[in-house]
Amino acid sequence: MSKKKQLLLLRIITHVGSLIPLVVMAWDFYFQQLGPEPIRELTFRTGKTALILLFLSLAGTPVSTLGWKIILPLRKPLGLYGFLYVCLHLAIFVVSYGVVSNLFQWQYVWEEALFRRYAVVGLIAFALLVPLAATSTNWAMRKLGKNWKRLHRLVYVVAILAVVHYFWLAKLSEYNKPIFYAVILAVLFLFRLPPVRQRVLAWRK
């Protein structure tokens, strides 16, 4: 199979795979299969999917260092789908506190967002993602030039904040889950260190 066909196949897998969680959530919501707390379940699912897609996007560079450079073009769609799930995650949070719980009493949303540390960290991560998503086009890359790469390094900060957000949301008995993601993030960062990258490239040769 030619590289062009391989990339096309990988793009299709990326789009389909990224949308499957959304289809499953819609199906479970329609057929009332989200358990006794559907809003909480949807919030958890959208947040987890966003985190996974963000990590997959970050994994593009380390995996390319190992020799599979064909996946580099997939980083953008994975990141944008991750942003989509972040938007859904935030929307569900706002609706659940402002509409469902408190009948359009929006001050409860602001109180939760400004005085809960997990919400503050989550909102900061979202705010940092907005310019990244807005400048993901080829036009923005040309206009920003070298500054585009500098701006998109914020994704590393977003990833750290997302893991912290998960830690502060999880119960003490469930810390194994955010710890798992923290370890994966540490490995992804480790592969980006120049000495480690040079070792990997030398090992490949």
Residue 185: per-residue pLDDT: 95
Average pLDDT over residues 90-105: 68
The answer to whether 46 and 89 are in contact (CB under 8 A) is yes
The yes-or-no verdict on residue 104 having pLDDT over 70 is: no
CA Rg value for the chain: 19
Average pLDDT over residues 98-121: 66
Q: What is the pTM of this model?
A: 0.89
The yes-or-no verdict on residue 112 having pLDDT over 80 is: no
What would you measure as the largest C-alpha separation in the chain, in angstroms? 63
Residue 170: per-residue pLDDT: 81
Q: At 75, is the pLDDT very low, low, confident or very high (cuts 50, 70, 90)?
A: very high
**SS3 (DSSP) at 111:** helix
For 182, the domain range is 3-204
Q: At 86, is the pLDDT very low, low, confident or very high (cuts 50, 70, 90)?
A: very high
Residue 173: per-residue pLDDT: 66
The yes-or-no verdict on residue 119 having pLDDT over 70 is: yes
Number of domains making up the chain: 1
Check residues 172 and 131 and name the one with the higher pLDDT. Answer: 131
Q: What is the dihedral of CA 177, 14, 147, 84, to 10 degrees?
A: -60
Span 136-168, pLDDT tens digits: 988 999 888 889 989 999 999 999 999 999 998
Average pLDDT over residues 116-139: 91
Average pLDDT over residues 100-116: 61
Check residues 93 and 27 and name the one with the higher pLDDT. Answer: 27
In the numeric block, which tokens belong to residue 113? 């967002």
